[in-house]
Structure 1
Amino acid sequence: MENGDIKLQCYNKGCGQKFDSSKNTDDSCLHHPGEPFFHDAYKGWSCCNKKCTDFTEFLNIKGCTRSKHSNVKPPEPEKPVKQEVNVDEVIEVKPIIPTVKERPPFDSPMTTMRPEIATSLKQQVFSIATETVSEKSSDEIAIGTTCKNGGCSVSYEGPDTNKSPCAYHPGVPVFHEGLKFWSCCQKRTTDFNAFLSQIGCTQGEHLWFKEDDDKKSVQCRWDYHQTASHVVVSIYAKQYCVQKSVIELSPVRLKACLLFPEQNNTTFQFDIELRGIVDVESSQVFMYGTKVEIKLKKAQPGSWSKLDIPRVTPSEEKPKLSAADIEITSRVDAVDLDDL
């Protein structure tokens, strides 16, 4: 057999042909210079964008580069060195015990969180003029305000109204077994209109503001869910003041105060001791048009059995009642007539 008839095997990837060394030119071999890859059911070559899911189709992908044929075998991958195992060796396996962080005290300093405000809520807030959200002076009395003393129905018409006498009931209204009366004067009646028209038994000055007017609160629905790394608390609320609503956080405490200007500046108060410890710097607050979302980053991954640890607030000492007061309290239900 002549040398010209000897065929050599080409070992370039993707070629697989036999060639005549005397006719081997720079464009004789069509192959892939890259490496094959197999990922997520796809099969292809790193040197070109050709890939498929069928293995036979993968083998038939034509090369992307031309060069001379090569009959040099690529080096075989090194086999892992087999290590001898000492059967007499005792291997001690210890469980991994996570480190437990020391729990900070409940009264630790709190950080006022800077919320991220949704774009739609920003447009809603800043489209309102500043004058509409400014608070009225504490000394200003709106025309038409009704005297807050029980039994007085005088409305404020101007400074001269303060000169008129205020006849009111210093006690509380009582409804019991069909009877209606004031605890201060005991004038009983069964007719509700007659009860409302009873003239007060005490003379004094009109009261246009109650002491607890600025302490009124509103109830908002809230909920939470958690993952291994975060606890997300959602407070569902609308028309709250973004600028004056405050979210405070410490590693073991969450405190929220939402202000509602359109509801006579009522507030929603939320103050709990967290079941676990959180990373304050990695936690976030988001304000939307329908809710406030507080994303707490857990200091240690895991699951909390509950969101909070119930705190027992020491009850205030109640004043001692006389025998007459005890008898009335045990028999009647007091109601507030301000909203009637």
Structure 2
Amino acid sequence: MPDEKVLLQCYNRGCGEKYDPEKNKEDSCRHHPGLPVFHDAYKGWGCCNKKCTDFTEFLNIQGCTLSKHSNIKPAEPEKQVLKEDLLEEVVEIKPIIATTLVRPPFDTPLITVKPNIASSLQQQMNSTQPKQEIQIADDDGEIAIGTTCKNGGCGINYQGIETNSTICTYHPGCPIFHEGLKYWSCCQKKTTDFNSFLSQVGCETGAHVWKKDVDEKTVHCRWDFHQTGSHVVVSIYAKNYCPKESVVRLSPVRLQAKLIFPQHSNSFLLDVELKGVVDVDASQITMYGTKVEIKMKKAEPGSWSKLGTPVETQRPQKTPMDQITPAVEAVNLDDL
């Protein structure tokens, strides 16, 4: 059995083939005599002007020179040797120490912040003429025509005593907005479209409820907050509140917002001891037709883990803040 020929590995750059030394001719090897060049995401060879950004395409660039194959590895380019004085130089890097702002006391006086009235709300206020407001119930206890059923998802308006004989189809649960999904806690038919959520048919039937408990004086408004590196923005979602009577007060460590709903003689209160410190003078309040936006300037940069701690008020029974004003994902009602 004849001996197999031993093939040698060619080390010319860009070739990489194995060759028979007895058949090695002057034009057997196509390679690059120059060095590879990598600069500004471009890859190419110093011996020719072919450049590309893809590494695989770079490897497939054909050599620009023909010669014999060579099994001798080319010399590596000399590495730049640092001077001794540079090696001995010591660079000292000191950490940046952030200054901690002294937190003002909680009893720092609150300052009433003058709100900016959005143009849409201002036009609505200017165009509103004195009118007879629809009451939930007349003085004699009768239900006013046009009163909407208070069961969630019903939407039927009272048109007379015959309306009581109709069936109320409603959602006994509460609306939930989480990670872009909108649904009722009682049936959990989830959707991402707000109009589809509003049109969901109730999952239970019963009698209409035309008025709430006459002793209820607190409005339940949705609110949430988000933050940037320089500001904390609180949004309270509400309609039919009175901009002239509603007030937002701030101190460096406290937020107190009270919205007045004159139509039902009710109010909403958000009173929080803030997690961080804010610059009251640089903070802004904007009132829209569907929400109140409180943009507080952080007194020092940093991220807040939460908005703050609810301030306890004098109540017969203490109620957790998350039950009074549940913070849920923001829903933009401006476009509705």
TM-score normalised by structure 1 residue count: 0.42
TM-score normalised by structure 2 residue count: 0.43
